[in-house]
Amino acid sequence: MRKKHWYNYLLEYVMITIGCALMAVSIDLFLAPHTIAPGGVSGLAVVIKKLMGIPVSVTILAINIPLFIAGVIILGKAFGAKTAYAVGALSFFIGMFNKLFNHFIPTNDLLLSAIYGGVLLGVGIGFVFRTGGTTGGTDLVGAILNKYFPTLSIPKLMMFLDLTIATSAGIINRNVEITLYSLIALYIIVKVADFIIEGMGYSKAFFIISNKSEEISNEIIQSLGRGVTALKGKGMYTGEDKEVLFIVIDRSQEVKLKNIVKDVDENAFIMVANVHEVLGQGFKPIKM
């Protein structure tokens, strides 16, 4: 495996720092003032602050430290230095921004708070996850519980925990709308974090079945400059052996590829799928 340079590590910790700062801004300015709790330990900390008055930064640290220790003991050292740094940085920024903004609230509109808080928190989480770190929380709890309840997947456990926290926000406020806004924020966080992790430069994968597969392959190679892979297949209805062409292209080449297939064999079968990341020759280089 290729060894990372020191500046790669530095960049990763810079990204974690920026991500935690964005998460802290989201919590201090948009979510906590309205008790919007979109799951996670940060959401639980917002609920506890409303209920008991304990600062969010203190609660996050208090919950995540034993979680981190338990994770290392139960799951091994996979949740290492990056997670420890992220947990500390998030608590630090929440405490700092809370004093810096001095209870400044940009908007009293709950929908705007859920949207902007969700976007900022999603971007921050995405930055942390892109480095291979985590901020502890429900993903770590889910992983620990999955160890003892393997029939329940980690995503299902996380979803149950996040829904419970979001629901508790409405109960504490005696307002079901708070729960609904918390769920909106949770949805936005998940989508934005996925977008940050996967990027916007997705490509298209084509699976083509045709009796003229060789002609189609030649035309694709000559016109688009893309490689084509022939997979062996069998039509179970007819019992005939078939070739399935597999091609990955840029989005800008999608229409041209469809026209190539149509011109060669308008009876061809085409399946198109979105591919969020393609590494290797002709695409982005593989980086460690």
Number of domains in the chain: 2
Whether 70 and 170 share a structural domain: yes
- For residue range 24-37, list pLDDT tens digits in order: 999 999 998 988 88
In a domain, 285, yes or no: no
Domain boundary at 182, 198, 214, which? 198
- pLDDT of 280 > 70? The answer is no
Same domain assignment for residues 82 and 174: yes
Q: Do 20 and 108 have their domain in common? A: yes
Same domain assignment for residues 148 and 12: yes
In a domain, 1, yes or no: no
* CB 105, CB 25: distance < 8 Å: no
Whether residue 91 is predicted with pLDDT greater than 60 in this model: the reply is: yes
Q: Is residue 151 part of a domain?
A: yes
The pLDDT score that the predictor gives to residue 61 is 85
For the cut 70, the answer to whether the pLDDT of residue 40 exceeds it is: yes
Task: Judge if 187 and 226 occupy the same domain.
Answer: no
Q: Tell whether 55 and 121 lie within a shared domain.
A: yes
Q: Are 75 and 207 within one domain?
A: no
Q: Are residues 17 and 92 in the same domain?
A: yes
Do residues 125 and 162 both lie within one domain? yes
Integer CA distances (angstroms), 115 to 160, 187, 220, in order: 22, 10, 43
Task: Indicate if the pLDDT at residue 113 is higher than 90.
Answer: yes
- Mean pLDDT, rounded, for 92-107: 88
pTM: predicted TM-score of the whole model, two decimal places: 0.70
Calculate the average pLDDT of the chain. Answer: 84
CA torsion angle for 194, 18, 75, 118 (degrees, to 10)?
-40
CATH code at 241?
Answer: 3.30.70.120
Task: Please state, for a pLDDT cut of 70, what percent of the chain lies above it.
Answer: 88
Choosing from 198, 222, 237, the residue where a domain stops is 198
Report, as an integer, the average pLDDT of 276-286: 66
Phi, psi for residue 276 in degrees, rounded to 5: -80, -25
Q: Supply the range of the domain harboring residue 232.
A: 203-275
Strongest mean pLDDT among 1-5, 56-60, 207-211:
207-211
| Mean pLDDT of the region 47-69 | 85
- Domain boundary (171, 198, 225) is at 198
Q: Kindly report the backbone phi and psi dihedral angles of residue 287, in degrees, each rounded to the nearest multiple of 5, phi listed first.
A: -120, 140
| CA distances to 41, 177, 275 from 37, in Å | 9, 12, 32
Residue 1 pLDDT grade (very low, low, confident, very high; cuts 50, 70, 90): very low
| 194 and 214 part of one domain | no
Question: Would you give the end-to-end CA distance of the chain in angstroms?
Answer: 8
The answer to whether residues 14 and 147 belong to one domain is: yes
Q: Give the tens place of pLDDT for each residue, 221-274.
A: 998 888 899 999 888 878 888 899 999 988 778 889 999 999 999 999 999 998
Q: Examine the pLDDT at 45 and tell me if it is beyond 60.
A: yes
Q: Is residue 33 part of a domain?
A: yes
User: Same domain, yes or no, for 168 and 60?
Assistant: yes
Looking at residue 3, its pLDDT comes to 61
Is the predicted pLDDT of residue 78 greater than 60, yes or no? no
Run of H or E residues at 2: none
What pLDDT does 129 receive?
80
